[in-house]
Structure 1
Amino acid sequence: MNKIFILCTVIVVAAYAAPDSTSDLTDSVTTTAEAATTTSAPLNPTSTEKPALNTSDQDTVEDRTRLAANLFKDYDKNINPDGVKLQFGVVLVDFHVLEEKDAIESRVWLRYIWKDSRLQWNAEEYGGASVLRMDSDMIWKPDITLYNSLDSNMMVCWHSNVLIFPSGEVLWVPPCKLISCCHLTLKKHPYGEQVCRLKFGSWTFDGNVLDLDFYKGKKTMDLSDLSNTSGFEILSNKAEKTDKFYPCCKDPYPDLTFNLTIKRLPGEELFEKL
């Protein structure tokens, strides 16, 4: 009888203890899942009214085909939208100082977010479609270029898709190679501090038609994906917006200039000579 009583007691205790251990496991999984969804990535729109990249959408290829057909039926990519406010950012992936050219060569991801009201849709009418991935050549895009480029092509970028959302918001993140004039100071060569700039702006649109602002308001380059093999360390990373007026025109032309202050790591110049 005592053995039966003890056995029943153990079973009851285990039954009450189990929910706590299960709860701890669930909390752990939930915390891990939440952390995974907040991990930064090149494709990261700012709007809070939609998921960033939901791969479990209920829409089908038929829904997306019908959506694309309706969106682009009367769409003219040669005509710019009204009052574009572009968020622009630079993710620095790698850079090298070209001392013989007085320049800096950098690999970057450029982040563009803007809104085109002609590309809006009601997701419920298209199977819940919350994002449409399209060839970037199919839509109007801001003609942003690197003003202080040393390359005749200005910016060399890999051809990439754009992501379009029901609100008409467009996200474009092309990876690019840039070569920009640096104006190296050689007074304390090779260890003097150098300030290298990347100056971006529209080539044809004034600020009343295409205004510029920083991606997520961050007045710096994003260095979170930097793999620096240049032999230089980054001392300062700042950016500023300027509205410039030219003699030809009464309207301002905004530009965003990203400034990097760099300094050679001691001993690196010896390895370059070997």
Structure 2
Amino acid sequence: HCKEEGELIDKLFKGYNKNIRPVKHPEDKLDVDIKLTLTNLISLNEKEETLTTNVWIQIQWVDYRLMWNTSDHHGIDTIRVPCNNVWLPDIVLENNIDGKFDVAYYANVLLYNNGGIFWLPPAIYRSTCSIEITYFPFDYQNCTLAFRSQTYSANEVVLHLALDDTPPNVMIEWVDIDPQAFTENGEWAIVHRPARKMIYERYTPDDLEYQEILFNIVIQRKPLFYVINIILPCSLISSLVVLAYFLPAQ
């Protein structure tokens, strides 16, 4: 099987140019599907207004140059190759705060015989998050992870939210959470996690800023620590001060 797979890889990548967008005509647009899976909400730094998350970012597209007939290759329908061997859509976290646009580990991509490419690299992202503490410690924070292609416009690469694998294959309009891998945060609870594609009409499709995929994470502070250590003692002291006025003067 190793020999047959090696022969298939040699055949597929003979003359393959990973620097060329995989479309048959220059005016064609390439569809790229994105899904975000949250494995750990590491921290929210309120002073620096920074959200740190551990995620898996799933990116899928079709490269017509990497198709093959399974019957000609011993029934092989899937192969794995290093991601730096194929064209990549340059999807980056636009609102990162530390200048690290890339993923934590460049995992292999899965190639399917129909030309489909599946890439699931892990990443630790530090993104900007505007903090609103008016109702502290009973506050909610709305943090966003914004993804777009760093080098391709909407006339070249069209970004979409991924579709669910199971019928009826609905669009995944939320941040996915893997229940087996997810670790709860001690200070914050996730209450809402919508996702959507944004089109900014003030730009044209030729501009890189025209389209973005936004993943929102709405979190609620767990107030028990502050209630027991701040609010309750202050309330008791205030009550004692008020009761002092009811004591006899003598």
TM bracket, shorter-chain basis: 0.7 to 0.9
State the Cα deviation string for residues 76-97 of structure 1 (Å, max 9, x = none).
1111112211110000000121
Q: Give the letter for the 1:79 counterpart.
A: I
Q: Give the letter for the 2:48 counterpart.
A: K
Q: Give the letter for the 1:219 counterpart.
A: E
State the Cα deviation string for residues 203-249 of structure 1 (Å, max 9, x = none).
12111211111111111000133212242111111111112256686
126, 130, 133: which one aligns with 1:186: 133
State the Cα deviation string for residues 74-122 of structure 1 (Å, max 9, x = none).
1011111122111100000001211221011000000111000010001
2: CA distance between counterparts of 1:187 and 1:157?
35
Evaluate the alpha carbon distance shift between residue 270 and residue 138 of structure 1 in structure 2; reply closer, same or farther with a 3 A threshold. farther
1: CA distance between counterparts of 2:102 and 2:142?
20
- Alignment partner of 1:105 is 2:52: yes
Task: Confirm or deny: 8 A CA contact 2:79 2:110 kept in the other structure.
Answer: yes
Q: Secondary structure at the match of 1:204?
A: coil
175, 182, 205: which one aligns with 1:221: 175
- Number of residue pairs matched? 213
2: CA distance between counterparts of 1:171 and 1:163?
5
- Alignment partner of 1:244 is 2:180: no
RMSD: 2.1
Evaluate the alpha carbon distance shift between residue 250 and residue 214 of structure 1 in structure 2; reply closer, same or farther with a 3 A threshold. closer
The runs of 5 or more residues in structure 2 that have no matched partner are 24-28, 164-170, 229-250
Q: Give the letter for the 1:223 counterpart.
A: I
State the Cα deviation string for residues 180-224 of structure 1 (Å, max 9, x = none).
100011212232111000111111211121111111111100013
214, 218, 222: which one aligns with 1:261: 218
Q: Secondary structure at the match of 1:157?
A: coil
212, 215, 232: which one aligns with 2:188: 232
* Identity fraction in percent: 27
Which residue pairs with 2:90 in the alignment? Answer: 143
- Most deviating of 226-235 and 68-77: 226-235
Which residue pairs with 2:81 in the alignment? Answer: 134
Evaluate the alpha carbon distance shift between residue 114 and residue 248 of structure 1 in structure 2; reply closer, same or farther with a 3 A threshold. closer
Which residue pairs with 2:244 in the alignment? Answer: none
Q: Which has the larger radius of gyration?
A: 1
Task: Confirm or deny: 8 A CA contact 2:155 2:206 kept in the other structure.
Answer: no
The runs of 5 or more residues in structure 1 that have no matched partner are 1-59
- Alignment partner of 1:69 is 2:25: no
Q: Give the letter for the 1:184 counterpart.
A: I
Deviation at 1:270, TM superposition (A): 8.6
Which residue pairs with 1:89 in the alignment? Answer: 35
After TM superposition, the score normalised by the length of structure 1 is 0.73
Which residue pairs with 1:49 in the alignment? Answer: none
Q: Secondary structure at the match of 1:91?
A: strand
53, 62, 66: which one aligns with 1:115: 62
Evaluate the alpha carbon distance shift between residue 230 and residue 211 of structure 1 in structure 2; reply closer, same or farther with a 3 A threshold. farther
After TM superposition, the score normalised by the length of structure 2 is 0.80
Evaluate the alpha carbon distance shift between residue 61 and residue 263 of structure 1 in structure 2; reply closer, same or farther with a 3 A threshold. same
State the Cα deviation string for residues 41-100 of structure 1 (Å, max 9, x = none).
xxxxxxxxxxxxxxxxxxx11111110001111101111112211110000000121122
Q: Give the letter for the 1:221 counterpart.
A: V
2: CA distance between counterparts of 1:162 and 1:270?
48
More helix by share: 1
- Alignment partner of 1:171 is 2:118: yes
Q: Secondary structure at the match of 1:235?
A: strand
